[in-house]
Amino acid sequence: MSSVRKVLSRPLLLLVLCALTLPGLAAAAGDPLARAQALLATLGPSTPTDAYAQTARDFGAVVDEVRQAGASDATLIAMRKVAADMRKRAQDRLQAAEAAAGDDEGALESLYRSSVWEHLSFSLSAFPFWGSWLDLTLAERPSQAANRVQLLWRAKRGFRAASMQIYQPSLVYGGWLGVGFVARAEGQTSRARQIFDSLKQALSFDANHPVRKVVEQELARMDGREPAPTAAPAAPATPAARYAGERAQAFALLAQHRKTKSGARDAAAALRGIIDAGGMDMSLLVDILKYQAEIVSEDLREYTDLVGAEFAFTNQQWFTAVQKYQAFFAQKPRGQDMKFERFRYRHAVACLKADLTTESARLAERLLQTPKLEPELRKAATKLAYVARAQRLDSKSTADARQALSVAAQRFLAASPSDPDADGARVVLAQASGDPNTALKLLSGVSAKGQANVGSTRFQVIAKQFSKVANTVGPGVESLARQGLDAWDGLPAEQKKVPDTYAFYLQLKAVGDRDPAAVLKEIERAEQKPGASTTSRRAYFWAKLRCYDRLGDPGRVRDEINRLGDAPLPSWMAEALYPWVRKQADLAVQVAFAAQLAPKLKALPDMERRFRLLEIEGLLALDRGEEAYAAARRLIADYPKAGDGYRVLAQSAAKTRRLIEADNAWAVITNKVPPSFDVWWEGMLSRIELRAGSTRPASACELVNKVARQPKAPTADFERRWAALRARVGCAGES
C-alpha cells in the first residue's frame, strides 16, 4: 500500500473531506463514476451557482469513495476527466456572469461581492483540488510509473491553487496537505516535513481538526513512531453506519418524489424513525436539506422547523424564515455532534433581509461569542453585525446605538481591512471619533474608489474641530482652515450651495485665504442674498472680524456697529464681539469699543454688564482711576446685586484713595461668599492692605484673625501674599 494510502485510511480521509466541505456526507448507492457523471450533467448555463458549490462538495465524497475502494486506473482517469469538465463548466458559468455585467464597473463590482462569485470561485478551486487527489492516487500505482512525473506535477499544481484560496481556509489546509504528500512522493522529505510542521502550527487552535490529525500521523511515521490508531471499531459507531440502510431508503424515496411527486411521506416516516432512535447527525441533516422542497411539508420532529426555515430562506421568504428559525432554536434538537452555527448565521441574515436589523446584529454578535467558531464564519458574522448596525443608524439613534455601531465597525475593520465595505466602517469610525487627527487618518485609509464618497465626512470632521479652536490664533488654526478649504473642494456641488455651509466656508477663508481683502468682498456679496439665516449672518460677521484683524484695521468694526443706527445690537453679534474686543492688544481700543457697545445692549443686560465691566477694567489698567470709579458707581446703581460690580468699585475706589469706600465694597463681597472662593481671599487680603495703609493700621488685625482661622489659601499666590501681609501687620494675640 502506498504511503498516501497508509496514512489516509478511510475514516480519517472522510473527516478531512468533511472539514474541506460541509459536515460529512453519506454516499448514495450506485456506481461512483455514474454518480459523478450524473453530477456533471446537472451543471449547465442556467444552473444556480449555489448548485455548483454543492456539486463541488458532493463530488469530493465520490472521489474519496473511488480512491478508497481501489477502483481501476480507468475509473480514476475517467473521474479525473469529470473533474476537469466540471471546472470547465464552472468557468463558462462565471464568464457568462461577467459577460452579463458587460463594461459596467458597478455591475462587475456587485458581481465580485455577491454569492455568485463566492460559489463559483469555490467551485473553480474545489474541482481541480479533488482531481489532484485522483492524480496523486494514480501516481502511487506501479501501472502508472511512466506517467508518474506528469501526474505528480499536475497534482501539485491543483493543490497549490487550493492553498492560495485565502477566503476558503478549509481549501487552504487541504491544499497544503496535498502539497506535503506530493513532496513525500517526490522524495523531498525535508520539504514535506517543513510543510507538515507548518500545518500543525497553523491548526494549533483545534487539536481535533482532521487535517491536523493526518499531519500528526504522517509526522509520526516520518519519525519512526507508531501513529495513533484510526481504524473504526468493529461495531458500527456512527449513526451514518448504523442507519445506512434506512437512510438510503429514505433518500431513494425523496429522489423518486422529485420526479413523480410520490414518496415524500414514506421518506419522512423513515427519517422520523432514525431521529427517534437517536440517529440524527450532521451528515443526515445536510442530506435532508438537499431535498428541502420535497420534504418541507412533512413532519420531521423537532427538525421540521429547521427544514421550513431553510426552505423559506432559499426562496427569500425572510419573515417566514425568521419565525421558523426562532421556533427551531427554542427547542433542544436531538443528534450527535450537531453544529448549528451556520444555521444561526443564516437566521441572522434572514433578520437583516426582513429589516429586523437590531435582532440581526444581536444574533451575529452572540454567534461571535461561540468558542472555536470557524474562521470564515467568524469573518462573515463580524461583517453582518456591522452591516446590520449601520443599516439601523439614523438621525434619531440613541448614544448606545451609535456606540454599538462603532464597536461593530471597529471589529469588522480589524477582521477584514481589505473588504470593499471596510470603507464604510472607516467613515463610521471617523464620524464617531472625538479626535480629528484619528478621524482624518481613518478617512485617508479609504480606498481610491471610495474617496469620492467621503468628502462630506472629511469636511464635517474639520469643521467640528475648527469650531472648537476658531477663536484662537496661530499656525495651528490657520493650518486647520487650509485643510478645510481643501476638503471643501471634495464636497458635492449640492452641499456647497447650502447657505449655512457656504457661510462656514467663508469663515475658513477668513482665516486660511491669503487675500483677506478679497474675502471681505466675497462676504459682502453673500450678505446681499435675501433670506440669510441667523447662523449664516453670525458666520459672515465672525469672518469679517477675522479679516479686519488680518488687515490691521479694527476701526472698520465701528462702521458695522454704526450701520445699526438706534437699533439694539443682536445677541449673536454681541457674542461675537465680546471675545474679539477682549483680544484687542490696545487697551484704549478695548475701552472705546466697550463704551460704544454697552448702550446698545439694554435688551441684553448680562451682555451689557460684561461690556461695562470690560470698560472699567480697561480704564483701571490705563490708570484712568476717576473715570473707572465713576463708571463703577453707575454700574452698581444699575445692578446693585452684581458681585463683579463691587469688585471693580473697590478697585477703582482704592486707586482714587477712597479707602473706606473700597473697604466697604470688598466687605459686601466677603460677607456674602464663603472662604472657599478665590474672591473671598482677594477681598480679605485687599481689605487688610487697605487698613494697614490707613491712619488706623491696627484695625487690620480683626481681619487678620479671620483669615488666620482658615486652613490654607487656595492658591500659591494668595499664600505668598497672605504671608507677607501677616508679617507686615504683626498683630498681637493673633489667633
Going by pLDDT thresholds of 50, 70 and 90, the confidence category of residue 424 is: low
Which amino acid is it at 24? G
The amino acid at 514: R
pLDDT value of position 617:
92
**DSSP state at residue 227:** P
Q: Examine the pLDDT at 624 and tell me if it is beyond 90.
A: yes
To 10 degrees, the CA torsion angle through 185, 189, 191, 192?
A: 60
Q: For residue range 380-407, what is the model confidence (pLDDT) as tens digits? A: 888 888 888 877 665 455 777 677 777 7
- Greater pLDDT, 454 or 723: 723
Residue range 424-435: mean pLDDT, rounded: 58
Return the number of other C-beta atoms located less than 10 Å from residue 74's C-beta: 9
Closest alpha carbon to 75 in 66, 84, 83? 66
Determine the average pLDDT of the residues in 185-202: 84
Q: Is 8 exposed, middle or buried (0-12, 13-18, 19+ CB in 10 A)?
A: buried
Mean pLDDT of 694-720: 88
What residues contact 18, with CB distance under 8 A and at least 6 apart? 24, 25, 210, 283
Residue 240 has pLDDT above 70, yes or no: no
pLDDT at 270 over 50: yes
Question: Does residue 429 contact residue 402 with C-beta atoms inside 8 Å?
Answer: no
- Taking residue 278's Cβ as centre, other Cβ atoms within 10 Å add up to 13
Angle at 265 between CA 330 and CA 248, to 5 degrees: 90
**148 HSE (CA, 13 A, CB side):** 11
Q: Which of 223-227, 451-455, 539-543 is the least confident region?
A: 451-455
| Minimum mean pLDDT range among 116-120, 228-232, 242-246, 574-578 | 228-232
Torsion sign, CA atoms 280, 286, 287, 289: positive
**CB proximity list for 140: less than 8 A, separation 6 or greater:** 2, 3, 4, 5, 185
- Distance set, CA 478 to CA 437, 466, 543 (Å): 16, 10, 13
Can you give the pLDDT at residue 232? Answer: 38
- pLDDT value, residue 453: 55
Q: Which of 237-241, 299-303, 460-464, 628-632 shows the lowest mean pLDDT across its residues?
A: 237-241
pLDDT of 366 strictly over 70? yes
Spatial separation of the C-alpha atoms in residues 591 and 589, rounded to whole Å: 5
Residue 670 to residues 7, 210, 504, 626, 680: CA-CA distances in angstroms?
94, 84, 46, 24, 5
Domain map (residue ranges) of the chain: 3-228, 259-416
Confidence class for position 254, pLDDT limits 50, 70, 90:
confident
Residue showing cell 456539486:
55
Confidence of residue 700 (pLDDT cuts 50, 70, 90): confident
Q: d(Cα 168, Cα 159) in Å, to the nearest integer?
A: 13
CB atoms within 10 A of CB 367: 22
Residue 78 above 80 pLDDT? yes
508-560 pLDDT tens trace: 888 888 898 998 898 889 888 888 888 888 888 888 888 888 888 888 888 87
pLDDT of 5 over the 80 cut: no
Q: Which cell numbers hold the place of 585?
A: 492688544
243-255 burial, b at 16+ Cβ within 10 Å, e below that, comes to beebbbbbbbbbb
**What pLDDT does 734 receive?**
55
Does position 360 have pLDDT exceeding 60, yes or no? yes
Task: Give pLDDT, residue 323.
Answer: 93
**Which of these ranges, 159-163, 348-352, 681-685, has the smallest mean pLDDT?**
159-163
pLDDT value at position 10?
A: 38
Predicted confidence band of residue 454 (pLDDT cuts 50, 70, 90): low
Instruction: Reply yes or no on whether the pLDDT at 629 is more than 90.
Output: yes
Category of 623 on φ-ψ map: left (φ > 0), alpha (ψ -120 to 50) or beta: left
The pLDDT value given to residue 113? 63
3-state secondary structure string across 570-613: CHHHHHHHHHHHHCCCCHHHHHHHHHHHHHHHCCCHHHHHHHHH
How far is 329 from 303, CA to CA, in rounded Å? Answer: 10
pLDDT of residue 432 exceeding 70, the answer is: no
CA–CA dist 75, 83 (Å, integer): 12
Q: Measure the N-to-C terminal CA separation of the chain; round to a whole number of Å.
A: 107
Q: How confident is the model at residue 446 (pLDDT cuts 50, 70, 90)?
A: low
The SS3 call for residue 621 is helix
Query: Model confidence at 325, in pLDDT bands (50, 70, 90)?
Result: very high
Report DSSP letters for 430-450, one per residue: HHH-S-HHHHHHHHHTS-TTT
| Residues near 111 by beta carbon (within 8 Å), at least 6 away in sequence | 97, 98, 101, 117
What's the pLDDT score for residue 6? Answer: 41
Between these two residues, 310 and 33, which has the higher pLDDT value? Answer: 310
Q: 651 pLDDT band (50/70/90 cuts)? A: very high
| Sequence-separated (6 or more) residues with CB below 8 Å from residue 639 | 605, 609, 645
Distance from C-alpha of 617 to C-alpha of 613, rounded to nearest angstrom:
6
What percentage of the chain has pLDDT greater than the value 70? 81
pLDDT given for residue 267 in this prediction: 87
Cell numbers of 333, please? 434538537
The whole-chain average pLDDT of the chain stands at: 80
What percent of the chain clears pLDDT 90, i.e. is strictly above it?
Answer: 11
CATH number for the domain formed by residue range(s) 259-416 = 1.25.40
Within 13 A of 68's CA, how many CA atoms are on the CB side? 16
Say which range, 222-231, 621-630, 650-659, 703-712, has the weakest mean pLDDT: 222-231
CA pair distance 585, 180, nearest whole angstrom:
80
Between CA 663 and CA 697 the distance in angstroms is 13
Give the mean pLDDT of 70-79: 86
- Provide the pLDDT for residue 61: 83
Are 690 and 653 within 8 A, CB to CB? no
Q: What pLDDT sits at residue 435? A: 54
Q: How confident is the model at residue 245 (pLDDT cuts 50, 70, 90)?
A: confident
Residue among 239, 177, 182 at smallest CA distance from 203: 177
Average pLDDT over residues 495-520: 85
Rounded distance, CA 366 to CA 610, Å?
A: 57
- Which residues share a beta bridge with 336? 281
The three-class DSSP label of residue 216 is helix
Average pLDDT on 247-275 reads: 86
CB 87 within 8 A of CB 127: yes
pLDDT higher than 70, residue 129: yes
Stretch among 428-437, 539-548, 723-732 having the lowest mean pLDDT: 428-437
Query: Looking at residues 338-353, what average pLDDT do you find?
Result: 90
- Asked if residue 452 has pLDDT above 60, the reply is no
Confidence grade of residue 732 (pLDDT, cut at 50, 70, 90): low
> Angle of helix 678-692 relative to helix 716-729, nearest 10 degrees?
20
The secondary structure of the chain in percent helix, strand, coil, rounded to multiples of 5, reads 75, 0, 25
H or E element in which residue 244 lies = helix 244-260
Least confident span in 4-13, 131-140, 305-314: 4-13
Residues whose CB is less than 8 angstroms from the CB of residue 427 and which lie 6 or more positions away in sequence, other chains included: 442, 443, 446, 453, 454, 457
| Least confident segment among 100-104, 368-372, 450-454, 497-501 | 450-454
Q: Average pLDDT, stretch 474-490?
A: 75
Which set of grid coordinates corresponds to residue 628?
A: 473707572
